[in-house]
């Protein structure tokens, strides 16, 4: 574990603010610098977090005080800046999805391997004790052999065709933005690569998936039903159905931004649900930052390994291929 890890944030959007807030609770690190491409957004960020401000991303990477960089840009910029961050000798926590496709992901992983820096895709829920407890329950056989996973992550954004969520040039659409969570949860529970992907989608006026569903099959026969989107609000639950019962995860993704309890429900037919409470003494972004520091000397974290990110992106590639959704990055393989 590395203590006193000095962080820089590349980008100043909403998720950058959330991660910076989380760092205030971190046991292992602190925010020392931020980089932005516009003075207006940089000034707004520094008003909330008075650290060193850099007017360019390159200047942030050149800052000798920065040891680890959180990349919070829109996803079409992830590959470029993750590779440049590795070349600068900085450790990397890259917001999900780590890239636009598996080919980009392979280049990022190779850059980290070559530079011998830490790299993790920022699926913060993977680092939270709730997820560890969920896996413990499944592996202990509390619901028997898992046959089906149902996972949803979808919300309704306002109509703005130029926004990050709806603009195809910015990687808009549900599959890459939040469907990646659903895929990662299904793969985590299955512990294997997908063998089949079947999918349908509603493509909106801007050419991105406003609503998409998929069915995944795994080598042991387990199925996963996934739903995601950016123009329809869903319950955003996860349900794991086993031969002897079911586990419901009411809040699987952004579990708790502040210290507090979360809940799993274990259900068996004819019995009242068993409530399993999980206590977190920090918010989820602080836990994520500390997970980086805990594994930094190993180069990758067991919460989200390089192989896991590659497998996740391969499944997302197949999901998009099924519905005919391509981005500019897909033509640069």
Q: What is the CATH number of the domain that holds 49?
A: 3.40.50.720
Within a domain: residue 229? yes
How many domains does the chain fold into? Answer: 2
Domain contains 304: no
- Residue 274 belongs to a domain: yes
Residue 302 is assigned to a structural domain of this protein: no
Please determine, for residue 150, whether its predicted confidence score (pLDDT) is greater than 90: yes
CB 29 within 8 A of CB 4: yes
Q: Answer yes or no: are the C-beta atoms of 148 and 225 closer than 8 Å.
A: yes
In this predicted structure, what is the pLDDT of residue 275? 97
- When pLDDT is averaged across residues 176-194 and rounded to a whole number, the result is 97
Question: Does the residue 165 lie in any domain?
Answer: yes
Tokens matching residue 226: 């996934």
Q: Are residues 114 and 193 in the same domain?
A: no
Q: Which residues of 135-159 are buried (b: 16+ CB within 10 A; e: fewer)?
A: eebbeeebbeebeebbbbbbbebee
Q: Does residue 303 fall inside a structural domain?
A: no
Judgement on whether residues 74 and 90 belong to the same structural domain of the protein: yes
Q: What is the average pLDDT across 62-75?
A: 98
Please tell me which residue, 287 or 257, carries the higher pLDDT value. 287
168 and 31, same domain (yes or no): no
Those residues with Cβ within 8 angstroms of residue 197's Cβ, 6 or more apart along the chain or in another chain: 214, 215, 216, 217, 315, 318, 319, 322
pLDDT over threshold 90, residue 87: yes
The pTM score is: 0.96
Nearest to 157 by CA among 254, 73, 251, 233: 233
- Kindly report, residue by residue over 22-34, the tens digit of the pLDDT: 999 999 999 999 9
- One domain, residues 230 and 314: yes
107 and 156 belong to one structural domain? no
Query: Alpha-carbon distance 208 to 162, whole Å?
Result: 12
Domain enclosing residue 70, as ranges: 5-125
Please identify, among 78, 108, 125, the residue that sits at the C-terminal boundary of a domain. Answer: 125
Instruction: Check whether residue 238 and residue 148 sit in a common domain.
Output: yes
- Does 166 map to a domain? yes
72 shares its domain with 171: no
Does 120 share its domain with 166? no
pLDDT at 333 over 80: no
Residue where a domain terminates, one of 107, 125, 143: 125
Question: In this structure, are 179 and 326 located in the same domain?
Answer: yes
**CATH at 161:** 3.30.360.10
Predicted confidence (pLDDT) at residue 162 exceeds the cutoff of 80: yes
CA atoms of 211 and 181, how far apart (whole Å): 15
Tell whether 18 is covered by a domain: yes
Same structural domain for residues 27 and 94?
yes
Q: What letter would DSSP give residue 250?
A: S
120 shares its domain with 135? no
Tell me how far apart the terminal alpha carbons of the chain are, to the nearest angstrom. Answer: 36
- Last residue of a domain, which of 125, 160, 180? 125
| Residue 270: per-residue pLDDT | 87
Quick one: 323 and 223 in the same domain? Answer: yes
Q: Strands, DSSP E only, in 58-208?
A: 68-71, 91-95, 119-122, 146-154, 196-203
Mean pLDDT of 263-271: 95
């Amino acid at each position: 574990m590395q203590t006193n890890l000095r962080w820089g944030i590349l980008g100043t959007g909403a998720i950058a603010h959330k991660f910076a807030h989380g760092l205030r609770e971190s046991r292992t690190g602190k925010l020392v610098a931020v980089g932005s491409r516009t003075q207006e957004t940089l000034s707004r960020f520094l008003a909330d977090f008075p650290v060193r401000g850099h007017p360019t991303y390159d200047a942030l990477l050149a800052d000798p005080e920065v040891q680890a960089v959180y990349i919070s840009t829109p996803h079409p910029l992830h590959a470029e800046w993750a590779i440049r961050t590795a070349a600068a000798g900085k450790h990397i926590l890259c917001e999900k999805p780590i890239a636009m496709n598996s080919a980009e992901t392979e280049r990022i992983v190779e850059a980290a391997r070559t530079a011998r820096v830490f790299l993790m895709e920022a699926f913060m829920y993977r680092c939270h004790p709730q997820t560890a407890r969920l896996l413990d329950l499944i592996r202990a056989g509390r619901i028997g052999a898992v046959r089906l996973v149902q996972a949803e992550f979808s919300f309704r954004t306002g109509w703005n065709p130029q926004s990050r969520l709806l603009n195809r040039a910015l990687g808009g659409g549900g599959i890459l933005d939040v469907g990646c969570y659903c895929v990662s949860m299904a793969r985590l529970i299955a512990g294997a690569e997908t063998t089949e992907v079947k999918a349908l989608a509603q493509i909106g006026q801007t050419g991105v998936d406003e609503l998409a569903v998929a069915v995944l099959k795994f080598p042991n026969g387990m199925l996963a039903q996934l739903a995601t989107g950016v123009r329809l609000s869903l319950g955003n639950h996860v349900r794991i159905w086993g031969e002897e019962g079911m586990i419901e995860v009411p809040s699987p993704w952004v579990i708790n931004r502040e210290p507090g309890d979360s809940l799993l429900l274990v259900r068996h037919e004819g019995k009242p649900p068993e409530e399993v409470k999980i206590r977190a003494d920090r918010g989820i972004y602080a836990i994520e930052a500390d997970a980086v520091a805990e594994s930094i000397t190993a180069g990758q974290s067991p919460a989200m390994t390089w192989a896991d990110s590659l497998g996740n992106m391969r499944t997302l590639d197949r999901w998009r291929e099924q519905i005919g959704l391509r981005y500019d990055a897909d033509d640069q393989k």
